[in-house]
Chain A
Amino acid sequence: MSGARLQVDEQGRLRHFLTVEGLERGLLTEILDAAESFAGVAEQTVKKVPLLRGKTVVNLFFEASTRTRTTFELAAKRLSADVLNINVSASATTKGETLLDTLRNLEAMHVDMFVVRHADSGAAHFIARHVQPHVSVVNAGDGRHAHPTQALLDVFTIRRRKGRFEDLVVAIVGDILHSRVARSQIHALNALGTGEVRVVAPRTLLPAHVEDLGVHVFHRMEDGLRDADVVIMLRLQKERMRGAHLPSEHEYFRLYGLTEERLARARPDAIVMHPGPINRGVELESRVADGPRSVILEQVEHGIAVRMAIISMTMRTARGGEGTPA
């Protein structure tokens, strides 16, 4: 899926934000730097900047998500955009025509951006290919493919805590196979020059040729966590447990659950991350989730600033207009 050409214009600026794949370090760093400035808005008494006054952002969610939708909504509102939340139940739409009809109707209302969450891989790309030139699309998660804003807020959290990527060991633990988050994280971490990216999972939860993404593969927690600076626990999708991937939640926790004992193998200053919502006692025990090394709530907080950066950098403007000197 070539998002790279679709999402960056001739001047190297963001046109849409669909995938981390193919984005260069410079642009990723620009997003993280902008997010750093937007994080300061939360310190203001009026937690709002007038940047996107008069713009309309549509949260087009074909798949349920509370946290992602809420942080996107808050991000757009803190930029002074108007926000429309539309939840389209997947059963009501059959791909193709109906989706395009939905789009055309919304476009007729003069909206400026679609934030799209869909259970099908490639849905955001499809929409980006069909919107009018003045409309931008931000991918808020598509099937197993990508969740680029989550990956960006994760690397933002790492950069804030560690200040660098070069000599870091980052271990991503869990269901890599079904995880759009893991895929986007791996691309982002590698693009930013992370020292070593590891994936830790049973064979049944790893995609074929996962090494080609630029990761070291571990099957045992004890090995994968050794000297890690960052431990990212993935959410175990319970709906995916029905297949032949795993015997039981209890068995999963016994083998891959993060406990204080296991975390002792990582560096003393290691941080623990999770995209949420956490399954306590499945991916990690409460002692770890609520412990001093957990940055899970920081991730949520950073999600707003990072999404403000991505929305404002992706929003279409009448470029080429002569700027007024200060």
Chain B
Amino acid sequence: MSRRLDIDIDAVLAEMAAALRERLEARGVHAPAMVGIHTGGVWVAERLHRLLGLDEPLGTLDISFYRDDFTRVGMNPQVRPSHIPFNVDDRHIVLVDDVLHTGRTIRAALNEIFDYGRPASVLLAVLVERPGRELPVEAQVAGRHLELAPDEYVELAGPEPLELSVVKKQAA
């Protein structure tokens, strides 16, 4: 069961870009580097990257090798290469994902980023946040907050156009 959400994503992205600009300015960061998490997070990051007018190419992370459930589910066969085209050391990084739910993906992404170097700071921006955190992870910028039941999941379709929908999953 899937229901499309009637959300103007372009408007949400514009709000997020403005909020990010404000955040970064408050921190005194003038040249942040941006990293998107595969797959949905990369789509969102590409747009924010454009809206903020960043010069440096976007970094992309596939956190499959850093997941905490390998011993349970094995290798993700759809893994893509991670690519960080800049030196992470001492940089202010904006980490972007589509949905913040349990926080486990962000935990994995932070670990992966630290294997590339020691950033000065990391700021998290997500298109949607929802309840269900299993780790102490919060977003500094969230496009929308959605109240969802534990058996409901947000899915982002893309890359063009971006569309949000809510899927109800049967308990396994």
Contacts and interface: CB of A to CB of B under 8 A. Distances in A.
B2 interface: no
Interface string A308-326: 0000110101110111111
Interface in B98-112: 99, 101-102, 104-105, 111-112
B102 to A, nearest CB: 6
Contacts of B161: none
Contacts of B114: 46
B23 to A, nearest CB: 24
Interface in B10-39: none
Size band of the B side of the interface? 20 to 34
Closest 10 CB pairs of A and B: A321-B72, A49-B65, A326-B105, A46-B115, A317-B74, A40-B81, A323-B73, A37-B81, A37-B79, A44-B115
Contact of A34 (B77, B102, B112, B153): B77
Contacts of A313: 74-75, 77
Interface in B41-84: 62, 64-66, 68-75, 77, 79-84
A208 B112 CA distance: 52
Nearest to A312: B75
B104 A321 contact: no
B80 to A, nearest CB: 6
A40 B83 contact: yes
B149 interface: no
Nearest to B109: A326
Interface residues of A, number: 32
B155 to A, nearest CB: 11
B117 interface: yes
Contacts, number: 81
A28 B114 CA distance: 32
Interface in A269-326: 312-313, 315, 317-319, 321-326
Contact of A323 (B72, B82, B112): B72
A108 B80 CA distance: 36
B102 A49 contact: no
Given A37-B62, A322-B172, A323-B69, 4 more contacts: A45-B116, A50-B66, A51-B75, A313-B75
27 contacts: A33-B79, A36-B81, A37-B79, A37-B80, A38-B65, A39-B81, A45-B117, A46-B114, A46-B115, A48-B115, A50-B65, A51-B66, A315-B75, A317-B71, A317-B73, A317-B74, A318-B72, A321-B69, A321-B73, A322-B72, A322-B172, A323-B69, A324-B104, A324-B134, A325-B101, A325-B102, A326-B104
B49 to A, nearest CB: 20
Contacts of A40: 81-83
A36 B65 CA distance: 13
Nearest to A52: B70
Contact of B70 (A13, A43, A51, A322): A51
Nearest to A48: B115
B75 A319 contact: no
Nearest to A309: B75
A51 B64 CA distance: 8
A37 B65 contact: yes
Counting chain B CB atoms within 10 Å of each CB, the highest count among A37, A39, A318, A322 belongs to A37
Contact of A37 (B73, B82, B102): B82
